[in-house]
Amino acid sequence: MSCTTVLVGKNASNDGSTMIARTDDGHFDVKKMTVVRPKDQPRKYTSKISHVTIELPDDPISYTSCPSVDLKNGIWAATGINKANVGMTATETITSNPRVLAADPLVEYKKATKRGEKDIPGGIGEEDIVLLVLPYIRTAREGILRLASLLEEYGTYESNGIAINDENEVWWMETIGGHHWLARKVPDDVVVVHPNQFGMDAFDFDDAFGEKKEHLCSEDMLTFIAENHLDLNQNGKKNPRDIFGSHSDMDHVYNTPRAWFLGKFLAPNTYKWDGEDADYRPDSDNLPWCLVPERKVTVEDMQYMLSAHYQGTDFDPYISRNTGKRGMYRSIGINRTGITSICQIRPYAPEPLKGIEWVCFGPTTFSAMLPLYTYVNKVPAYLSKVTLDVSTENLYWASRLISALADTDYANNIQQIERYQNAILAKGRALIMEYDEKMKVCEGLLTEEANEKICKMVKEQTTDTLGKILLQVSQNMKNGYHLADN
């Protein structure tokens, strides 16, 4: 899917947490949040899209999941945190180039065309990856290695980026062609911004083929590069983006502007982002994959980044004047987002409380981000009992309604939206802090009780905001008239 990913190393965050986040930008996919318990995890899995069948281990652990409500195209679990406090988001659709895809073609499903022939299954993809990996891992590195073995055995039918974190490390993997892959530990002091293109701009092959401390890759990677003449680097450099990635005009409209805007947010003084002599521009192909932020990054910063639409620039689709550039670039906060999550692993919390998943349904520009404990056996009905029919009884549809209404009159609604978002961030944080303290002194876990209380608060705030936005939009309907009849 055409998503945006942000990764935060533990020394770059305000509280020492690692964080991985992604907007799941489908095609208005109806999403929910659930917990998959060991008894509900399949032991044999068949993909709807590629028809590949995979035998799974018999020792899964519970994990949160954000699947599609309509399962006609598969589960699409998207993101979650398991009971070992490992988070995962999968996947960020990325670009490649024809040379790579010729050398290692994607493994696509082939339906039989003649009687007597058999269908040929494809590889794994975004539909499958969280389900195939997250229930079986206890560290981020383990997750990379498990996924690598699946890619090598079954291949993939698409180019994807995958993030996995535990309390100490964040790892990022990018698939290369049908069976090859690179993975890198995100440095502890940086933030990674990743739009829909091949991202890594540096890789230590000596480490990958030596100690394997912070870099991992397919065993034949150097041979694969050399035999297929993939390396475009000069002067001994090994920039993976120049080997495996794309440099297209479409990147300059769809991908690089997002990285530019978030780089500008994270390090406004480190580089020059505007003007004739700018270090980086919205169409730069050499935007850094990771940056040391000029101040520590918070969850609130993550929400801002994941809902961004080029505020303060001529490219903002909501700017009142016609700049000639309005809306020319793809925003991060986009209308068709199903769910956005931040998987936060807190090193200072007791083991069952380390994992906090912040979730936001619908378009992030107008929706609110709420925190949930993940060491639970169930998710409140407001998030899990989502129907395909529109209903204000669940957050997914309430968020979509608020977004569609607020978008029609951005200038008059955005202040109310900001109040709504900030209220849920503040009240949600306060409830997490309250229950963190309660569970220090009481016997047993109160994580499910806390989540219910958080969702009750969110429903109250959401219902109130929906009413206010509806009134504001109603007052500006085109069939209004100032002469009253009462």
Alpha-carbon distance of 302 to 279, in angstroms, equals: 24
- Of 3, 66, 360, 455, the catalytic one is 3
Contact 33, 359 (CB under 8 A): yes
The CA distance from 128 to 353, in Å, is: 27
Q: Is the peptide bond before 91 cis (omega within 30 degrees of 0)?
A: yes
Compute the distance between CA of residue 354 and CA of residue 18 in angstroms, rounded to an integer: 11
**Can you say whether the dihedral through the CA atoms of 229, 233, 236, 240 is positive or negative?**
negative
3-state secondary structure the chain: CCCEEEEECCCCECCCCEEEEEEECCCCCCECCEEECHHHCCCEEECCCCCCEEECCCCCCCEEECCECCHHHCCCCCEEEECCCCEEEEEEECCCCHHHHHHCCCCCCECCCCCCCCCECCCECCCCHHHHHHHHCCCHHHHHHHHHHHHHHHCECCCEEEEEECCCCEEEEEEECCCEEEEEECCCCCEEEECCCCCCCCCCHHHHCCCCCCEEECCCHHHHHHHCCCCCCCCCCCCHHHHHCCCCCCHHHHCHHHHHHHHHHHCCCCCCCCCCCCCCCCCCCCCCCEECCCCCECHHHHHHHHCCCCCCCCCCCCCCCCCCCCCCCCCCCCCCCCEEEEEEECCCCCHHHCEEEEEEECCCCCCCCEEEECCCCCCCHHHHCCCCCCCCCCHHHHHHHHHHHHHCCHHHHHHHHHHHHHHHHHHHHHHHHHHHHHHHHCCCCCHHHHHHHHHHHHHHHHHHHHHHHHHHHHHCCCCCCCCCCC
For the chain, first and last CA: distance in Å? 53
- State yes or no: is 66 an active-site residue: no
Q: What angle do CA 289, 89, 429 make, to 5 degrees?
A: 95
Q: Which two tokens stand for residue 1?
A: 């899917």
Lookup result for tokens 């988001």: 89
Nearest 10 degrees: Cα torsion 332, 333, 336, 340? 90
| Tokens describing residue 80 | 């979650």
Active site residues per annotation: 3
